[in-house]
Structure 1
């Protein structure tokens, strides 16, 4: 079953750490968000392959926006 990673807060995408097609382990960082001068790593909850990356550096995400999908 695919894991959808969504934004929990309104934030800027500061850095994209992973890329589509990359194998990821549970707890790996996919992107780093920035909100109110704080850097917030977005982590995977399960191992798999990053099948979709829905953001790029400089994007602004809203609460519940899709960031990535792990298969």
Structure 2
């Protein structure tokens, strides 16, 4: 099975993680919700699959390029 990494596109704080390991996702589903400069920014699944790993928790400060989650497809 192939995997895809869900990457951070900016420096931000993790606001929430609306998925859990094992959850199915489709293209466009919100995998992680970030907050930056008082704006909520959803990080969307770019492939359909299953959540294999979640590498962040709410409150984490992430940097551009950090791996937030891994999807199997």
TM-score by length of 2: 0.94
Q: Are 1:27 and 2:11 matched, yes or no?
A: no
How many aligned positions are there?
A: 71
Residue 71 of structure 2 corresponds to 70
What is the distance in 2 between the residues matched to 1:54 and 1:44? 15
What secondary structure is seen at the aligned counterpart in 1 of 2:20? coil
Partner of 1:10: 11
- After TM superposition, which residue ranges in structure 1, 4 or more long, deviate above 4 angstroms? none
1:11 Cα deviation from its structure 2 partner:
0.2
5+ residue gaps in structure 2? none
Question: How large is the RMSD of aligned CA atoms in angstroms?
Answer: 0.6
